[in-house]
Chains A and B, each alone.
Chain A
Amino acid sequence: MKTALTGMILLSLMLGTVGQAETLQLEGSTTVGPIADAFAEYFKSVYPSLDITVKKTGSGDGAAALVDDRCDIANMSRFMKDSEFKKAVTNGIYPVAHVVAMDGVCVVVHPSNPVKALTKDQIRGIYTGKIKNWNQVGGPSMPIVPISRDTSSGTYETFEKLVMSKQAMASGVEYVNSNPQAHARVKTTRGAVGYVGLGFVDASVRALKVDGILPSRQTIASGTYPVARPLFMFTNGYPKLGTMVHKFCTFHLTEKGQELVEAKGFVPLTNY
Chain B
Amino acid sequence: MNLRARGLFDRIFTVTTGLSVGLLTLVLLAVLGPMVYRGSGAVLFKGTVEFRKMQRDLFRRADEKALEAEIARTDEFRQTVCDMIYEFKKGIDIQGMSAEVRKIHRELGKELRYNEVPAERYTELRGLSRDIRDQLEGAFNSQEIEAIRETVAGVLAHRDNPGFKGTIAERYFEIASSFLQAAEQIDLSRHHDYAVALAETEQILFHSDERPGLLGPRPGESPPLLVMLRYGATRWDQAQALLDQFHRYVVWEEVESGEPLVRREKPRRELFAGTSLEPLFPYVEENIGAMLRPKFTVYWQFFIDDNVNSHYFGGVGPEILGTMLITVLGMLFVIPLGVISAAYLVECASENWVMRIIRMCINTLAGVPSIVFGLFGLAFFVLFLFPLLGFESKPCILAASMTLALLTLPVMIRASEEAIRTVPQSYKEGSLALGASKFRTFVTVTFPAALPGILTGVILSLSRIAGETAPILFTGAVSLGPTPKSIFDPTRTLSYGSYDMAVGDRLAMMVPHNQYGMVVTLIALILALNAVAIVFRSRVFKKLKGQ
**Given A54-B481, A55-B479: A13 touches B487 (CB 8 Å cut-off):** yes
B260 touches A259 (CB 8 A): no
Report the nearest B residue to A11, measured CB to CB: B325
**A8 CA / B478 CA spacing, docked (Å):** 22
Residues of B within 8 A of A263 (CB): 209-210, 224-226, 229
B486 touches A14 (CB 8 A): yes
Residues of B within 8 A of A183 (CB): 506, 509
A9 touches B328 (CB 8 A): yes
**A113 CA / B262 CA spacing, docked (Å):** 9
B210, B309, B508: which contacts A41 (Cβ < 8 A)?
A: B309
A37 touches B310 (CB 8 A): yes
A178 touches B310 (CB 8 A): no
A264 touches B210 (CB 8 A): yes
Indicate if A16 sits at the interface (CB-CB under 8 A): yes
**Proximity bits, A131-147, B CB within 8 Å = 1, else 0:** 00001000111100000
**Proximity bits, B244-288, A CB within 8 Å = 1, else 0:** 000000101010001111110000000000000000000000000
**A140 CA / B68 CA spacing, docked (Å):** 57
A34 touches B310 (CB 8 A): yes
A16 touches B486 (CB 8 A): yes
Taking residues whose C-beta sits less than 8 angstroms from the other chain, chain A's interface range is 35 or more
Question: Whole-angstrom distance from the CB of B400 to the nearest CB of chain A?
Answer: 12
B393 touches A70 (CB 8 A): yes
Residues of B within 8 A of A52 (CB): 480-482
Report the nearest A residue to B481, measured CB to CB: A53
A190 touches B506 (CB 8 A): no
B225, B254, B506: which contacts A200 (Cβ < 8 A)?
A: B506
**Proximity bits, B196-230, A CB within 8 Å = 1, else 0:** 00000000000001100000000000001111010
A12, A17, A36, A53: which contacts B329 (Cβ < 8 A)?
A: A12
Question: Whole-angstrom distance from the CB of A245 to the nearest CB of chain B?
Answer: 17
B480 touches A12 (CB 8 A): no
A112 touches B500 (CB 8 A): no
Q: Which of B39-86 contact A (CB under 8 A)?
A: none
Indicate if A33 sits at the interface (CB-CB under 8 A): yes
Indicate if A99 sits at the interface (CB-CB under 8 A): no
A180 touches B226 (CB 8 A): no
Residues of A within 8 A of B153 (CB): none
**Proximity bits, A15-58, B CB within 8 Å = 1, else 0:** 11110010001000010011011101110000000011111110
B473 touches A57 (CB 8 A): yes
Residues of chain B at interface, number, CB under 8 A: 53
Question: Whole-angstrom distance from the CB of A246 to the nearest CB of chain B?
Answer: 20
**Given A179-B506, A264-B210: A12 touches B479 (CB 8 Å cut-off):** no
Question: Whole-angstrom distance from the CB of A88 to the nearest CB of chain B?
Answer: 17
**Given A9-B332, A111-B252: A259 touches B224 (CB 8 Å cut-off):** yes
Indicate if A256 sits at the interface (CB-CB under 8 A): yes
A15 touches B490 (CB 8 A): no
Indicate if B34 sits at the interface (CB-CB under 8 A): no
B505 touches A259 (CB 8 A): no
Report the nearest B residue to A262, measured CB to CB: B209
**A111 CA / B251 CA spacing, docked (Å):** 9
Residues of B within 8 A of A114 (CB): 254, 259-261
A111 touches B261 (CB 8 A): yes
**A16 CA / B484 CA spacing, docked (Å):** 11
Residues of B within 8 A of A230 (CB): none
Indicate if B88 sits at the interface (CB-CB under 8 A): no
**Proximity bits, B393-423, A CB within 8 Å = 1, else 0:** 1110100000000000000000000000000
**A199 CA / B208 CA spacing, docked (Å):** 13
**A196 CA / B130 CA spacing, docked (Å):** 47
A140 touches B481 (CB 8 A): no
Question: Whole-angstrom distance from the CB of B80 to the nearest CB of chain A?
Answer: 28
Question: Whole-angstrom distance from the CB of A145 to the nearest CB of chain B?
Answer: 14
A54 touches B478 (CB 8 A): yes
Residues of B within 8 A of A265 (CB): 210, 506
**Given A9-B328, A51-B481: A112 touches B262 (CB 8 Å cut-off):** yes
**A13 CA / B489 CA spacing, docked (Å):** 12
Indicate if B474 sits at the interface (CB-CB under 8 A): yes
Report the nearest A residue to B258, measured CB to CB: A140
Most B CB contacts (10 A, CB to CB) among A14, A113, A263, A264 go to A263
Report the nearest B residue to A21, measured CB to CB: B482
Residues of A within 8 A of B545 (CB): none
**Proximity bits, B283-310, A CB within 8 Å = 1, else 0:** 0000000000000000000000000111
For the A-B complex with A36-B480, A52-B480 known, give 18 more contacts whose Cβ atoms are closer than 8 Å. A1-B536, A15-B488, A17-B486, A38-B310, A40-B480, A52-B481, A111-B250, A111-B252, A111-B261, A112-B263, A113-B261, A177-B503, A199-B210, A199-B505, A203-B250, A259-B225, A263-B224, A264-B505
List B residues at the A interface (Cβ < 8 Å): 209-210, 224-227, 229, 250, 252, 254, 258-263, 308-310, 324-325, 328-329, 332, 383, 393-395, 397, 473-474, 477-482, 485-490, 500, 502-509, 536
Q: List 12 A-B contacts (CB under 8 A).
A: A1-B536, A9-B328, A12-B325, A33-B504, A38-B226, A55-B479, A56-B504, A61-B474, A112-B260, A113-B261, A199-B210, A259-B224
For the complex of A and B, the 7 pairs showing the least CB-CB separation, nearest first, are A53-B481, A178-B503, A54-B480, A34-B505, A112-B260, A263-B226, A51-B482
